[in-house]
Structure 1
Amino acid sequence: MAPHDAILGWDEDTNAAAYDAFTRAHPMYNVTSRDLARRAGLSDVGLVVDLCGGAGATARAILDHIPPGARVISVDNAAAMQRVGRRTLIDSRLSWITAPAEHLADHVAHGHIGAVVCNSAIWKTDIAAVFAAVSRVLRPGGRFVFNIGGGFAGIRHPDEQAVSGGPSLNTLIHDVAARDYGYIAPPKSADAPPKLPLETITCELAAAGLAVVDTEIVAQHSTMAEKKAWLSIPVFSRPEGDFTHAQRMRILETAYAQTTPDAPSVTSWLVVVAERREPPA
């Protein structure tokens, strides 16, 4: 049994509150959400889906981009995240559906959605099922816009490569855990292929009837202080293994003390814009 203070998964109230607080205090999710909303071409849509929308960070950006009279549906399978969103993001244009991304087509009218936006979450879904569901609900020409972390996509932005101010906070966390708790990190194969490279994404989209119209490798700039705040969110805390959340936070504090708060931290993202193909004549 997990320790009483361990936080497990997304559907937990403490985690949901911490995640929502981070999105409001730090720019990371606001910046990525606005970037995706801009790429989605929302000026003439009537209905937009915020897929894996969590507590509503991306929905907030979408609401700022849609025309008068348009609506947003936020879909997520974690009820705890949506409970936070319903309390903190009250807008008559926004509705919430608690369901897995793979079941999107069971809850949304087919062929009527102008755009589907998914920020930072495609990696945790069954992409074949999700892409098929998105294709069913999008109108012809409707856009599907999402991003994939560089580690999953197997890409690195030049800005990330240029930052070399010492070990990363993740590396320091593992070093502290090894020193103070005897932690042994699971082995990683240097030759292991990325899980979601663009080639795989393109093929799966095409199989679902979606065509890639644009891709870009972008850099997300932050600081060690923001990275530390992000790693304080229970679901993101490190290292993996049999640690309580309190232990992980002590490890994080010790590791963070070895850094400079305003030191730059850069992560890479692959942004993909796809469109629903017109049906054959």
Structure 2
Amino acid sequence: MAPQDALHGWDDAITAQAYAAFTRAYPMYNATSRDLARRARLTTSGLVIDLCGGTGATATAILDLVPPAARVISVDNAPAMQRIGRRLVPDPRLTWIAAAAEDLDDHVPAATADAVVCNSAIWKTDTPEVFTAVRRVLRPGGRFVFNIGGGFAGVHHRDEQTARTGPSLNSLIRQIAARDYGYTPPPADHTPKLSPSTVSRQLAQARMSVLATDIVAQHTTMAEKKAWLSIPVFARPDGDLSHAQRMDILTKAYALTTPQTPTVTSWLVVVAQRPEEQP
């Protein structure tokens, strides 16, 4: 099943505005979107799906690579995100569909998409259902390219260790939350939610082939991390705290860091394909 918070908070105007501002002000989404779009090999595509497309950062990268006559469909189940996206990406080649990723094949004709791209969201879905839906809409030979945060995949790029110069912002947040608000963190669960082996197994069950997996590092700064954690749906820590309290904790934690301190986030990037020989 999908996580209980798969949609919670996303269909909200404040969250959507903050999220859109972040994707345009900081390089993370642009960089990951360009990387996924490049791996999808879009130069001869006629139809590409931007799955869980949010406010259009990934759709923009896709539009930069597809032929002039190609169509792009952005699918997301948060209308608030799409309302902003329509204003930010007013390209006539781009169509917006408000729907859950699991219902993709209810909105796109079977075997018509040359590629499906999903940036920074697949772990928030019911992946077996989504993989099956993606397979149905892909043409034979079509590519499915997506990424998974390293924490969810249980993978770590070597740069994570070499770049670290002090405590992470998340660890400082937990310390201050405990000190100032009596926060008790839940028991640590280090079991990967979507390990590479789990992803491969689920894709095989959906009758898709894994062409490549890659662990990549996204280099950012402490200032970018703070901006990310200021978005309501990403604010930490979890638990019975108000957003104002979380922002107070974040401000205090950030004050113990240096804005330009480098941080590294690991990602598992997966390139899958609907095989040519399957009906």
With the shorter chain as reference, the TM-score category is over 0.9
Equivalent position of 2:44 in the other structure? 44
Q: Which amino acid aligns with 1:275?
A: Q
Equivalent position of 2:163 in the other structure? 163
CA contact (8 A) 2:150 2:266 kept: yes
- In structure 2, the residue corresponding to 1:267 is in which secondary structure? strand
Q: Which amino acid aligns with 1:9?
A: G
Flag structure 1 segments of 5+ consecutive residues without an equivalent.
Answer: 1-7
Equivalent position of 1:253 in the other structure? 251
Structure 2 distance, partners of 1:177, 1:157, is 28
- In structure 1, the residue corresponding to 2:83 is in which secondary structure? helix
Equivalent position of 2:260 in the other structure? 262
Equivalent position of 1:122 in the other structure? 122
2:196 to 195, 198, 211: 198
Equivalent position of 2:5 in the other structure? none
- In structure 2, the residue corresponding to 1:141 is in which secondary structure? strand
Equivalent position of 2:188 in the other structure? 188
Q: Which amino acid aligns with 1:181?
A: Y
Shift of 1:280: 4.4
Structure 2 distance, partners of 1:18, 1:89, is 16
Structure 2 distance, partners of 1:152, 1:255, is 24
CA contact (8 A) 2:141 2:276 kept: yes
1:207 matched to 2:205? The reply is yes
Using the size of structure 2 for normalisation, the TM-score is: 0.96
- In structure 2, the residue corresponding to 1:273 is in which secondary structure? strand
Equivalent position of 1:25 in the other structure? 25
Shift of 1:163: 2.2
The count of aligned residue pairs is 272
Deviates further, 114-123 or 193-202: 193-202
Structure 1 distance, partners of 2:154, 2:170, is 18
Using the size of structure 1 for normalisation, the TM-score is: 0.95
What CA deviation, in whole Å up to 9, does each residue of 1:101-135 have, x standing for no partner? Answer: 00000000110100000001010000100000000
- In structure 2, the residue corresponding to 1:130 is in which secondary structure? helix
Flag structure 2 segments of 5+ consecutive residues without an equivalent.
Answer: 1-7
Equivalent position of 2:14 in the other structure? 14
Query: How well do the aligned residues superpose, as a CA RMSD in angstroms?
Result: 1.0
Shift of 1:164: 2.5
Structure 1 distance, partners of 2:259, 2:68, is 42
Change (3 A) 1:174 1:280: closer
What CA deviation, in whole Å up to 9, does each residue of 1:51-98 have, x standing for no partner? Answer: 000111100100101011001000000111111111221000000000
What CA deviation, in whole Å up to 9, does each residue of 1:234-253 have, x standing for no partner? Answer: 10001111211111111101
Change (3 A) 1:219 1:174: same
Equivalent position of 1:132 in the other structure? 132
Q: Which amino acid aligns with 1:208?
A: A
Shift of 1:279: 3.5
1:222 to 210, 220, 223: 220
Structure 1 distance, partners of 2:151, 2:145, is 19
Structure 1 distance, partners of 2:241, 2:55, is 26
Q: Which amino acid aligns with 1:129?
A: E
What CA deviation, in whole Å up to 9, does each residue of 1:183-202 have, x standing for no partner? Answer: 1111114xx42111111111
Equivalent position of 1:5 in the other structure? none
Equivalent position of 1:106 in the other structure? 106
